[in-house]
Amino acid sequence: MNFDFSDDQKQLRDQARKFLAEKCSPKAVRVVLDGMAPYDKELWKGLAEMGFLGVAIPEEFGGAGAGHLELCVIAEEMGRANAPVPFSSTVYLAAEALLIAGSDAQKKKWLPTIASGEAIGTLALFEGKGNPSPKNVKLTAANGVLNGVKKPVADGAIADFAVVAARTGSSGRDSDISLFLVDLKGGGAEVKSLTNLDPTRGQAEITFKDCRAEPLGAAGEGWSILTQVLDRAAVLCAFEQVGGADRALEMGRDYALDRIAFGRQIGSFQAVKHMLADMYVSATLARSNSYYGAWALSTNAAELPEAAAAARISATQAFQHCAKNNIQVHGGMGFTWEFDCHMYYRRANAMALGLGSLSYWEDQLIERMRKKNAA
Amino acid sequence: MNFDDTPQEAAFRETARKWIDANAPKELHAELSKSSLGRIRLASRDIVEVGKAWQKKKADAGWACLHWPTEYGGRGATPIEKVIWQQEEGVYGKLTQPFQIGEGMCGPTVMAFGSEDAKRRYLPKLASGEEIWCQLFSEPSAGSDVAGLRTRAEKKGDNWVVNGQKIWTSGAHYSDYGLLIARTDPNVPKHKGLTMFFLDMKSPGVEVRPIKQANGMQEFNEVYFTDVVIPDSQRLGAVGEGWSVSLTTLMNERMSIGARLATGVPEMFEFCSNLMLEDGLAIDDPAVRSKLASWAAKSNALKYTSYRTISALSKGERPGPENSIGKLVSGMMLQDIATYAMDLQGGAGVLTGSDEETVQGQFQQMLLSSPSMRIAGGTDEILRNIIAERVLGLPGDIRVDKDVPYNKIPTKGR
């Protein structure tokens, strides 16, 4: 057994950390936070040049052809840096959907442009309130045109194309749902930016009016493909969350060492120490489940659905826990716009909802464990 | 990243599996499988007696204390081979419970600090289970603050004479030897006046009294020492160095990974899968699912955390204090799960009944036993201190007794 990343993968992680420390300082994140730019274009370009956007895309489609373990270590660093770029939408959702279900022509058209940083992609799934479920997909597809409204769509306002879940049947079964690929610049899709918890990552409403779309994957297979995409994204997002949790813990620890009150470092008070110890425990548990998810993802193991749900739950809890208590350790200063604590708090709580909420994944984990026990 | 055995590991696993298949006490398999949450119930057999037989059989064939050198009763196996063995030993591993303190803590301390003669005399018999060891550290006024212990050892010629009292000693009533830390100099600060020994538990003046615990059971003991004579040859480490010797013992406790930590999750999953509530099965209730999923995720995470530790071990790295999280997480989880299992039973949850064999009855016992999981082997609070100080690098507690001679430290709060 070797339940760890390889030396090469660790080296890649160091490389990504160094790159992001240089190109994605909190000051750079604040440009997007304060609404001066929709995302960090320079950083996006740099990520493409480093080969990070296409790290898990095969070489024949313009990527580095490394693999998902490599993508996991980069994801962790993206989370640590709170990077204000459409990485998860483009790389975990759009690219993975194409890799799973895309035709050769679709892959050839979009994957190289993802790897090169020219195209931003996203997944348009949600239609208002509710978690991922075939029942919640009302947008219709008929004769190659889509009609309906998707919101929220992560990074929708800056995306060039979207993978859209659409209703193509009314039998009440999963096979009512099919996926479509839409060029958002091709007309028929009207995009409106929405305000959200985490301004460093945009959210949008997209209205499709007789919008031309091409099928992605077989008709009626949409939900099954989507489930696979969400599982993969759950693992990759878990690494981002672990990176964010670790950074929030580190910020809290550093502040507890610097800040003096009652004549001593506040980190010498057990109430503070124990809070930080509990944050470490959450972050460690999340990391361990994420590693298992990474293994399942990289080997396409039968365990992936259960591993992904467990990683998603632990990582969501850990990031929320660490981000929340990081503010608590900082006291009043943690509640200022000037300190960076709130950026992680915002990101943690936005990420907790992006692929479906915690309760959704809890439900999924139990369902999947039952299936395994029954088998 | 992979879970596959190397060819050597696969061969080792095959050898172990074959030997276990041919030699394990299969008549106990069903009962051992049913025993859960760290408690072993054998209808007509004594666990110590059955455990000794299994341990001896393993030792004779080279399967006891695998990671120890062969000259001291082990197999010279790698850490990963030890883990493979534990996986293959499966439920029969529960029979090793009486030997775990000896193997995990006392043995390694003797190995690090004992004379060559002592190592050859005591370790093979410890490994084979012929002699059982216990650990005599905690005292009534020295629990978390174990360095504040009072048991005195005074030098008389070539011997030490010991007077005092230890407490929470698991297995003292069936142990042959004990690892004892005692105060040899009360005139220096508390950490500096301690010395480590081992002694024959049948020495004159040793009295073992069982403690009736809050859960009604008797698993721990008090051990009283009245003018107990220990030869100086049974001292481990230098006089006054007992504290640093004890750190070796405790570090080895952390190294003995793979220790099966009960979380209560499999039992709870089964319970919820079968419990009928007014609106259907408990496991179909969203509130139940939410709690169960969080616990299951934690329990999985503990398993994979131990896999990460094993991987580090197999690369020759030393697991550090980060291993403290296992007990911290599982102790609290056991208590929470037990409480919630009873909540789901409604009014009838109050009954402890006689159906302890059923899954349902186990939770009442678990509730009553779980406080000890959060105290024994380091309280939750001490574990959090360890994580905060040694992993996160936060300042140590301000110790008002640090530079004070031991005999000047106040002993009463009011």
With beta carbons less than 8 A apart as the criterion, state whether B68 and B24 touch.
no
> Which ranges of A82-221 would DSSP assign to H, the alpha helix?
87, 95-101, 104-115
Please check the confidence at residue A289 and state whether its pLDDT lies above 80: yes
Both tokens assigned to B352: 């402890």
Chain B residue numbers with beta carbons less than 8 Å from the beta carbon of A374 are: none
Pairs of CB atoms within 8 A across A/B: 159
- On the 0-12 / 13-18 / 19+ scale of CB atoms within 10 A, A185 is exposed
Please check the confidence at residue A367 and state whether its pLDDT lies above 90: yes
Q: Which residue, among B271, B330, B257, has the nearest Cα to B299 in the 3D structure?
A: B330
Chain B residue numbers with beta carbons less than 8 Å from the beta carbon of A261 are: none
Range A36-55 average pLDDT? 98
Mark whether A227 and A370 lie in a shared domain. yes
Q: Name the architecture of domain B134-252.
A: Beta Barrel (2.40)
Q: Which of A72, A102, A119 is the last residue of a domain?
A: A119
Q: HSE (CB half, 13 Å, CA atoms) of B301?
A: 33
Number of domains chain A is built from: 3
Closest approach of chain B CAs to the CA of A108, in angstroms?
30
Beta strands in B13-158 (DSSP E): 133-136, 152-156
Q: Give domain limits for chain B.
A: 7-131, 134-252, 261-378
State residue B133's pLDDT score.
98
Q: A152 preceded by cis ω (within 30°)?
A: yes
Q: Which residue, among A356, A236, A371, has the nearest Cα to A303 in the 3D structure?
A: A371
What is the predicted ipTM? 0.95
Range A1-23 average pLDDT? 96
Read off the CATH number of the domain in which A177 is found: 2.40.110.10
Both tokens assigned to B52: 């000794």
Cα distance between residue B98 and residue B130, in whole Å: 11
Per DSSP, the residues of B196-264 read EEEEETTSTTEEEEE---TTS----EEEEEEEEEEEGGGEES-TT-HHHHHHHHHHHHHH-TT-----S
- Which one of the listed residues B81, B89, B139, B253 is annotated catalytic? B253
The minimal CB distance from A274 to the residues B305, B384, B398 is found for B384
Mark whether A286 and A353 lie in a shared domain. yes
With beta carbons less than 8 A apart as the criterion, state whether A74 and A8 touch.
no
Q: In this complex, do B304 and A288 lie within 8 Å of one another by their Cβ atoms? A: yes
Q: What is the bridge-based pairing of β-strands A260-261 and A189-194?
A: unpaired
State residue B360's pLDDT score.
60
A253 is a domain residue: yes
The domain B7-131 belongs to what CATH superfamily?
A: Acyl-CoA dehydrogenase/oxidase, N-terminal domain (1.10.540.10)
With beta carbons less than 8 A apart as the criterion, state whether B211 and B218 touch.
yes
Structural domain of A108: 7-119
Chain A residue numbers with beta carbons less than 8 Å from the beta carbon of B263 are: none
Tens-digit pLDDT profile for residues B91-114: 999 899 899 999 989 999 999 999
Tens-digit pLDDT profile for residues A128-178: 999 999 999 999 999 999 999 999 999 999 999 999 999 999 999 999 999
Q: Which residue, among A373, A289, A310, A281, has the nearest Cα to B266 in the 3D structure?
A: A373
Range A15-32 average pLDDT? 98
B312 interface with A at CB cutoff 8 Å = yes
Q: Which amino acid makes up residue A200?
A: T
Closest approach of chain A CAs to the CA of B292, in angstroms?
8
Mark whether A112 and A19 lie in a shared domain. yes
State residue B298's pLDDT score.
97
- Portion of chain A with pLDDT greater than 70, in percent: 100
State residue B113's pLDDT score.
97
State residue B44's pLDDT score.
77
A167 is a domain residue: yes
Angle, in degrees to the nearest 10, between helices A358-374 and A304-330 = 150
Read off the CATH number of the domain in which A337 is found: 1.20.140.10
- On the 0-12 / 13-18 / 19+ scale of CB atoms within 10 A, A173 is exposed
Mark whether A180 and A214 lie in a shared domain. yes
Is B253 known to be catalytic? yes
Both tokens assigned to B188: 């220096």
The domain B261-378 belongs to what CATH superfamily?
A: Butyryl-CoA Dehydrogenase, subunit A, domain 3 (1.20.140.10)
Name the band, by pLDDT with cuts 50, 70 and 90, for residue B354: low
**Which residue out of B392, B397, B399, B402 would a mutagenesis test of the A interface target, given it has the greatest number of A Cβ atoms within 10 Å?**
B392
Question: Which range (B55-69, B244-258, B293-307) has the least confidence?
Answer: B244-258
Mark whether A273 and A314 lie in a shared domain. yes
Chain A residue numbers with beta carbons less than 8 Å from the beta carbon of B398 are: 264, 268
Mark whether A188 and A72 lie in a shared domain. no
